[in-house]
């Protein structure tokens, strides 16, 4: 055995670099965070060859005194914490005092800095003992060249310049999203990629996430005293196949955290198909003492003191923000809609509901909501040719105002409902919209308080042995939901009642699907464990099928139901349930007024 010796400093730093300096992007992260910690108002980044050749970060922060320059590059030297208590309430991005030392160990690094009050700047090359005078107006410039030039084994792990650049770009975005108040610029191989003026979070999010995301997302801002969640989260229509475009910040620090990821997933559970992922930029703020950031050298993982409370809060806050995007609000509130208010004709006063149905006799049984609407629509029908807006209060709209989704005109190919509202044309996917509405209403069924409809003639259908067994073992659960099911003979089940909301469903089809869902689950768990699946199954079978002819009152009832339903904008699979074409858009399409 060789004798035991202390490791030389350089080697210690190179070992530490293995943890913090994985690639150019991790260098960029550390240097950017130092600039943020130094109170910079403006940060300029220049990269060459994906950052492998050179990373240069210039800031206008507090700078470093000449005699402290060597300390800045020394391991375990930091100006940010002094004692254990500081670590428990750390508010700076850095605190371990090891990044610059580690980077210096695996690159050619220099730091040029001018502390406020100093007559000029000083430059220190890593490895040198003495700083030399330099020119700089204010702040600090850190230059990192030839990463891993002295550790060829690590250099081999670097990917192409394009890939390394992409990682750097991502790192830059994280800092830029977290700090919209700072002016930030990123250049690669001499070309400016991002030039971001200081501004508010919404503006920064739009600049970095794009107009499409911005239009298809909702603003989140929920303040619950010690916890605050803000930012923007995508509507399901903007969902993605991957988890890119997900930014979660805790006290300004970008994190990837299982607990938070789970809370977000739960918030989207009702509106997003399992294989799709939302896009979001979310900021959680809480007392620094409530979160431990010293879990990992790169500080990308955190630990919450009150994990459960944080989880609940994030989930509910997000759910609420997404639910507030009811159809009516989306119509008036989206920036896209605001941009389109340019048409003089879109004012509600010149708008008239379409003519009432020619024949108002509906041969189809209507749900109570439809019937109520039917009565309303008949009463509110304007005198022929008068073109007045009905003066009857509507859900979510003041007296005299037109309902956001307008009034039905017709049904297209048995699939879409066409309606006219104040702005123009509204198109509704009738099955998807009805399914969504039912899904929300059916939640009461699973809460065990459903209104029940007894069937005059029991629905009898043939069932497999497995279905027979499930119907028997889950009879009580089914009864609680409003389904009275029993054996009618060998291989036959009879349904005597169903939840009133599902009175129009094809009972046999619904039962087959439901029994499939209930199969294999212990009765005690069935509703909690399969809640979403059960709701989806029932909603799908209860919703109007395509190609069923609807009367205008039925279509209007559907529109009113949509306006009154939370999250009616998307079906249970995350597809949009309706869209619109404003008159301005239609005019453009026909090149009118050009
Ligand atoms: N851009 C900068 N402006 C001012 N001071 C800096 C800058 N970068 C580094 N420093 C100083 O150098 C010290 C060491 O930096 P670093 O190794 O990243 O450790 P940490 O950020 O964990 O303190 C910091 O504590 C800070 O005092
Ligand atoms: Mg640092």
CA 332, chain centre distance (Å): 21
Q: What is the CA(558)–ligand 1 centre distance, in A?
A: 61
* Co-location of 233 and 371 in the same domain: no
Question: Does residue 3 lie in a domain region?
Answer: no
Higher confidence at residue 362 or residue 92? 92
User: What is the mean predicted confidence (pLDDT) over 462-486?
Assistant: 88
Q: What is the CATH number of the domain that holds 573?
A: 3.30.1540.20
Q: What is the model's pLDDT at position 56? A: 98
> By three-state DSSP, how is residue 559 classified?
helix
- Backbone CA torsion sign across 172, 258, 264, 518: positive
Q: Are 227 and 86 in contact (CB under 8 A)?
A: no
Structure confidence at residue 349 as a pLDDT band (50, 70, 90): very low
Q: What is the model's pLDDT at position 446? A: 78
User: What is the mean predicted confidence (pLDDT) over 576-591?
Assistant: 88
Q: Are 23 and 158 in contact (CB under 8 A)?
A: yes
Q: What is the DSSP string of 194-206?
A: EEE-S--HHHHHH
Q: Which residues contact 409 (CB under 8 A, 6 or more apart)?
A: 354, 418, 419, 420
* Co-location of 358 and 313 in the same domain: no
Q: What is the model's pLDDT at position 48? A: 97
pLDDT, mean over the chain:
81
Question: Does residue 359 lie in a domain region?
Answer: yes
Q: What is the model's pLDDT at position 339? A: 33
Is the pLDDT assigned to residue 567 strictly greater than 90? Answer: no
Q: What is the CA(150)–ligand 1 centre distance, in A?
A: 23
Q: How far is CA 181 from CA 36, 185, 219, 341, in A?
A: 11, 13, 18, 31
Higher confidence at residue 50 or residue 367? 50
User: What is the mean predicted confidence (pLDDT) over 404-409?
Assistant: 90
Q: What is the model's pLDDT at position 343? A: 32
Q: Which residue puts its alpha carbon closest to atom 11 of ligand 1?
A: 72
Which ligand lies nearest to the CA atom of residue 100 in the structure? 1
From CA 31, how far away is CA 143, in angstroms rounded?
A: 9
Structure confidence at residue 381 as a pLDDT band (50, 70, 90): very low
* Co-location of 435 and 479 in the same domain: yes
Q: Which atom of ligand 1 is nearest to the CA of 77?
A: 14
What distance, in Å, lies between the first and last C-alpha atoms of the chain? 88
* Co-location of 43 and 145 in the same domain: yes
| 151: number of Cβ within 10 Å | 17
* Co-location of 451 and 559 in the same domain: yes
Q: Which residue puts its alpha carbon closest to atom 25 of ligand 1?
A: 78
Q: Which atom of ligand 1 is nearest to the CA of 59?
A: 1
Q: What is the CA(71)–ligand 1 centre distance, in A?
A: 9
Q: Of the residues 31, 55, 67, 72, which should be mutated to test ligand 1's pocket, given the most ligand atoms within 8 Å of the CB?
A: 72
* Co-location of 511 and 531 in the same domain: yes
Question: Does residue 335 lie in a domain region?
Answer: no
Q: What is the CA(93)–ligand 2 centre distance, in A?
A: 7
- Backbone CA torsion sign across 504, 506, 510, 513: negative
Q: What is the CA(116)–ligand 2 centre distance, in A?
A: 20
User: What is the mean predicted confidence (pLDDT) over 361-367?
Assistant: 30
From CA 278, how far away is CA 242, in angstroms rounded?
A: 9
227: containing domain = 201-324
User: What is the mean predicted confidence (pLDDT) over 71-86?
Assistant: 84
Q: Which residue puts its alpha carbon closest to atom 21 of ligand 1?
A: 94
Q: What is the model's pLDDT at position 388? A: 27
Is the pLDDT assigned to residue 396 strictly greater than 50? Answer: no
Higher confidence at residue 329 or residue 71? 71
Structure confidence at residue 365 as a pLDDT band (50, 70, 90): very low
Strongest mean pLDDT among 170-174, 224-228, 273-277, 344-348: 170-174
Is the pLDDT assigned to residue 328 strictly greater than 90? Answer: no
CA 286, chain centre distance (Å): 20
Q: What is the model's pLDDT at position 522? A: 66
Count of residues for the chain? 594
* Co-location of 21 and 70 in the same domain: yes
User: What is the mean predicted confidence (pLDDT) over 77-86?
Assistant: 82
Is the pLDDT assigned to residue 276 strictly greater than 90? Answer: no
Q: Which atom of ligand 1 is nearest to the CA of 139?
A: 3
Which ligand lies nearest to the CA atom of residue 79 in the structure? 1
Q: Classify each residue of 532-551 as buried b or exposed e, where b means 16 or more C-beta atoms within 10 Å of its C-beta.
A: eebbbbbbbbbbbeeeeebb
Q: What is the model's pLDDT at position 400? A: 52
225: left (phi over 0), alpha (psi -120 to 50) or beta: left
* Co-location of 153 and 243 in the same domain: no
Of 196, 216, 251, which closes a domain? Answer: 196
* Co-location of 219 and 110 in the same domain: no
Q: Which residue puts its alpha carbon closest to atom 1 of ligand 1?
A: 35
Is the pLDDT assigned to residue 523 strictly greater than 70? Answer: no
Q: What is the DSSP string of 279-297?
A: -EEEEEE--GGGEE-TTST
Strongest mean pLDDT among 41-50, 401-410, 523-532, 547-556: 41-50
Question: Does residue 332 lie in a domain region?
Answer: no
Structure confidence at residue 61 as a pLDDT band (50, 70, 90): very high
Q: Of the residues 17, 65, 94, 109, which should be mutated to test ligand 1's pocket, given the most ligand atoms within 8 Å of the CB?
A: 94
Q: How many domains does the chain have?
A: 3
Q: How far is CA 213 from CA 221, 234, 367, 522, in A?
A: 17, 7, 37, 42
Q: Which atom of ligand 1 is nearest to the CA of 102?
A: 17
Is the pLDDT assigned to residue 181 strictly greater than 50? Answer: yes
* Co-location of 83 and 213 in the same domain: no
Q: Which atom of ligand 1 is nearest to the CA of 98?
A: 17
From CA 309, how far away is CA 311, in angstroms rounded?
A: 5
Q: Which residue puts its alpha carbon closest to atom 9 of ligand 1?
A: 34
> Which residues sit with their C-beta closer than 6 Å to ligand 1?
30, 34-35, 38, 59, 61-64, 72, 78-80, 94-101, 140
Q: What is the CATH number of the domain that holds 220?
A: 3.30.230.10
Q: What is the model's pLDDT at position 356? A: 32
Q: Which residue puts its alpha carbon closest to atom 20 of ligand 1?
A: 97
DSSP code of 394? B
User: What is the mean predicted confidence (pLDDT) over 552-568?
Assistant: 85
Would the pTM count as exceeding 0.85? Answer: no
Q: Which residue puts its alpha carbon closest to atom 12 of ligand 1?
A: 72
Q: What is the CA(106)–ligand 1 centre distance, in A?
A: 17
Q: What angle do CA 144, 157, 257 make, to 5 degrees?
A: 85
Structure confidence at residue 401 as a pLDDT band (50, 70, 90): low
User: What is the mean predicted confidence (pLDDT) over 459-486?
Assistant: 88
Q: What is the CA(63)–ligand 1 centre distance, in A?
A: 9
Strand partners, 487: 493
Structure confidence at residue 82 as a pLDDT band (50, 70, 90): confident
Higher confidence at residue 512 or residue 384? 512
Q: What is the CA(357)–ligand 2 centre distance, in A?
A: 70
Which ligand lies nearest to the CA atom of residue 136 in the structure? 1
Q: Are 194 and 47 in contact (CB under 8 A)?
A: no
Structure confidence at residue 594 as a pLDDT band (50, 70, 90): low
Q: What is the CA(54)–ligand 1 centre distance, in A?
A: 19
Q: What is the CA(208)–ligand 2 centre distance, in A?
A: 25
Q: What is the CA(257)–ligand 1 centre distance, in A?
A: 26
By CB neighbour count within 10 A (0-12 exposed, 13-18 middle, 19+ buried), where does 391 fall? exposed
Q: Which atom of ligand 1 is nearest to the CA of 81?
A: 23
Is the pLDDT assigned to residue 322 strictly greater than 50? Answer: yes
Structure confidence at residue 530 as a pLDDT band (50, 70, 90): confident
Is the pLDDT assigned to residue 16 strictly greater than 80? Answer: no
Of 170, 196, 222, which closes a domain? Answer: 196
Higher confidence at residue 57 or residue 482? 57
Structure confidence at residue 144 as a pLDDT band (50, 70, 90): very high
Is the pLDDT assigned to residue 333 strictly greater than 50? Answer: no
From CA 474, how far away is CA 466, in angstroms rounded?
A: 12
Question: Does residue 333 lie in a domain region?
Answer: no
Q: What is the DSSP string of 326-384?
A: -HHHHHHHSHHHHHTTT-GGG-GGG--PPPPPS-----S---HHHHHHHHHHHHHPPPT
Which ligand lies nearest to the CA atom of residue 101 in the structure? 1
Per cent of the chain over pLDDT 90 is: 37
Tokens for 7, please give them.
């490791």
Q: What angle do CA 25, 29, 35 make, to 5 degrees?
A: 140
> By three-state DSSP, how is residue 55 classified?
strand
Q: What is the CA(95)–ligand 2 centre distance, in A?
A: 7
Structure confidence at residue 529 as a pLDDT band (50, 70, 90): low
Q: Are 200 and 241 in contact (CB under 8 A)?
A: no
Least confident of 40-54, 96-110, 245-259, 312-326: 312-326
Dump pLDDT digits (tens) for 94-132: 878 889 999 999 999 999 999 988 999 999 999 888 999
Is the pLDDT assigned to residue 495 strictly greater than 90? Answer: yes
Per cent of the chain over pLDDT 70 is: 84
Torsion of CA 221, 224, 228, 231, to 10 degrees: -10
Q: What is the CATH number of the domain that holds 57?
A: 3.30.565.10
Dump pLDDT digits (tens) for 414-439: 889 999 988 899 999 888 888 888 88
Which ligand lies nearest to the CA atom of residue 58 in the structure? 1
Structure confidence at residue 385 as a pLDDT band (50, 70, 90): very low
User: What is the mean predicted confidence (pLDDT) over 364-393?
Assistant: 32
Which ligand lies nearest to the CA atom of residue 140 in the structure? 1
Q: What is the DSSP string of 105-159?
A: HTSEEEEEEE-TT-SSEEEEETT-S--EEE--SSEEEEEEESTTTT-HHHHTT--
Q: What is the CA(90)–ligand 1 centre distance, in A?
A: 15
Q: Which residue puts its alpha carbon closest to atom 18 of ligand 1?
A: 99
Which ligand lies nearest to the CA atom of residue 138 in the structure? 1
Of 164, 181, 196, which closes a domain? Answer: 196
Question: Does residue 425 lie in a domain region?
Answer: yes
Distant-in-sequence contacts of 65-72, Cβ < 8 A, 24+ apart: 65/115, 65/118, 66/115, 66/118, 66/122, 66/131, 69/111, 69/113, 69/122, 69/124, 69/131, 70/124, 70/129, 70/131, 72/100, 72/111
Q: What is the model's pLDDT at position 30? A: 94
From CA 279, how far away is CA 281, in angstroms rounded?
A: 7
Q: What is the model's pLDDT at position 551? A: 85
Q: What is the CA(114)–ligand 1 centre distance, in A?
A: 14
* Co-location of 525 and 378 in the same domain: yes
Residue 485's nearest CA partner among 508, 503, 517, 501 is: 508
* Co-location of 254 and 284 in the same domain: yes
Which ligand lies nearest to the CA atom of residue 76 in the structure? 1
Question: Does residue 184 lie in a domain region?
Answer: yes
């Amino acid at each position: 055995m060789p004798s035991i010796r202390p490791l030389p400093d350089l080697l210690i730093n190179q070992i530490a670099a293995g943890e913090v300096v994985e690639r150019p992007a991790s260098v960029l992260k550390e240097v950017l965070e130092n600039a943020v910690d130094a109170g910079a108002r403006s940060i300029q980044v220049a990269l060459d060859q994906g950052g492998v050749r050179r990373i240069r970060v210039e800031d206008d922060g507090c700078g470093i005194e000449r005699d402290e320059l060597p300390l800045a590059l020394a391991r375990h030297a930091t100006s940010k914490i002094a004692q254990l208590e500081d670590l428990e309430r750390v508010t700076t991005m850095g605190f371990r005092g090891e990044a610059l030392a580690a980077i210096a160990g695996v690159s050619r690094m220099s730091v040029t800095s001018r502390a406020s009050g100093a007559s000029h700047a000083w430059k220190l090359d890593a490895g040198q003992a003495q700083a030399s005078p330099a020119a700089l107006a204010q702040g600090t410039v850190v230059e990192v060249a030839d990463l891993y030039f002295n550790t060829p084994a690590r250099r081999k792990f670097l990917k192409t310049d394009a890939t390394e650049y992409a990682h750097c770009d991502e790192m830059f975005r994280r800092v830029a999203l977290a700090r919209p108040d700072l002016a930030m610029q990123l250049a690669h191989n001499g070309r400016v990629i991002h030039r971001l003026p200081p501004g508010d979070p919404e503006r920064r999010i739009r600049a970095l996430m794009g107009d499409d995301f911005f239009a298809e997302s909702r603003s989140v801002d929920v303040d619950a005293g010690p916890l605050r969640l803000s930012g923007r989260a995508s509507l399901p229509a903007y969902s993605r196949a991957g988890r890119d475009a997900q930014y979660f910040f805790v006290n300004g620090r970008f994190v990837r955290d299982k607990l938070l990821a789970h809370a977000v997933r739960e918030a989207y559970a009702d509106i997003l198909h399992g294989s799709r992922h939302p896009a979001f930029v979310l900021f959680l703020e809480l007392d620094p003492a409530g979160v431990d950031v010293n879990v990992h050298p790169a500080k990308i993982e955190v630990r919450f003191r009150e994990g459960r409370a944080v989880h609940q809060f994030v989930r509910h806050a997000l759910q609420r923000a997404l639910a507030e995007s009811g159809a009516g609000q989306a119509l008036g509130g989206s920036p896209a809609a605001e941009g389109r208010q340019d048409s003089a004709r879109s004012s509600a006063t010149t708008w008239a509901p379409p003519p009432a149905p020619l024949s108002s006799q509906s041969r189809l049984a209507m749900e109570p909501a439809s019937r109520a609407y039917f009565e309303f629509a008949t009463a509110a029908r304007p005198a022929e040719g008068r073109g007045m807006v009905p003066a009857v209060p509507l859900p979510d709209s003041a007296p005299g105002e037109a309902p956001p989704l307008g009034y039905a005109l017709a049904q297209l190919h048995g699939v879409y409902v066409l309606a006219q509202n104040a702005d123009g044309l509204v198109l509704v996917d009738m099955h998807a919209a009805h399914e969504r509405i039912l899904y929300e209403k059916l939640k009461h069924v699973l809460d065990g308080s459903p209104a029940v409809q007894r069937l005059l003639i029991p629905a009898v259908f043939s069932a497999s042995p497995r279905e027979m067994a499930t119907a028997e073992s889950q009879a009580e659960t089914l009864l609680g939901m409003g389904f009275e099911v029993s054996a009618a003979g060998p291989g036959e089940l009879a349904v005597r009642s169903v939840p009133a909301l599902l009175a129009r469903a094809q009972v046999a089809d619904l039962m087959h699907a439901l029994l499939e869902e209930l199969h294999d689950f212990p009765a005690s768990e069935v509703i909690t464990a399969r809640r979403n699946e059960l709701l989806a199954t029932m909603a799908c079978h209860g919703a109007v099928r395509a190609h069923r002819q609807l009367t205008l009152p039925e279509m209007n009832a559907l529109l009113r139901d949509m306006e009154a339903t939370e999250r009616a904008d998307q079906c249970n699979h995350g597809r949009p349930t309706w869209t619109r074409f404003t008159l301005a858009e239609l005019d453009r399409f026909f090149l009118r007024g050009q």
